[in-house]
Amino acid sequence: MTTVIFVVASAAETLPAWAPSSIISPARKLLIPQSDETYGQFSPDGKWIAYSSTESGRREVYVQGFAPDRVPAAAVGKWQISTAGGDRPRWRRDGRELYYIALDGKLMAVPVAIGNAFKVGVAARCSTRGSWDSGGTT
């Protein structure tokens, strides 16, 4: 079964991210937004959601637990991953790192441990040349 995240956008209000459990099943609320939340992505084990949000007053990266049997499906526990602004989070295939774009356009990497508990390390710039623009190119 494949689960996808999508955001219902409206000019009038911020609406929650949703996740249909399949094409046929009804969609379920993941997050009840306090702000603009975008770029959601499930961890490789499907237990965590990384996303960016403006809840702090600027765009930052967060991770929140995912409990498919709850409505909304966001589980207890939320961690702010970026500390000086961040956007477009993406998990490493094995789930041991989370990448995001810092406000200055630099690619950042944060070591994480996923599973039944979530642990986060300290963010560091990736040793790549150049920076990323809003289209994701160098």
Q: Which domains does the chain carry? A: 6-125 (2.120.10.30)
Q: Which residues of 77-95 are buried (b: 16+ CB within 10 A; e: fewer)?
A: eebebbeebbbbbebeeeb
Helix (H) or strand (E) holding 98: strand 97-102
pTM comes to 0.72
Which of 138, 67, 75, 68 shows the shortest CA–CA distance to 101? Answer: 138
Are the CB atoms for 64 and 53 separated by under 8 Å? no
Bridge-partner residues for 61, per DSSP? 52
CB atoms within 10 A of CB 73: 22
| Residue reference for tokens 């970026």 | 82
Along the 138 residues of the chain, how does pLDDT read in single tens digits?
A: 455 555 555 444 444 454 444 434 555 555 555 667 788 888 888 888 899 999 889 999 999 887 766 555 555 678 999 999 999 999 999 999 999 999 999 999 999 988 777 889 999 998 755 554 545 444
N- to C-terminal Cα separation, the chain: 34
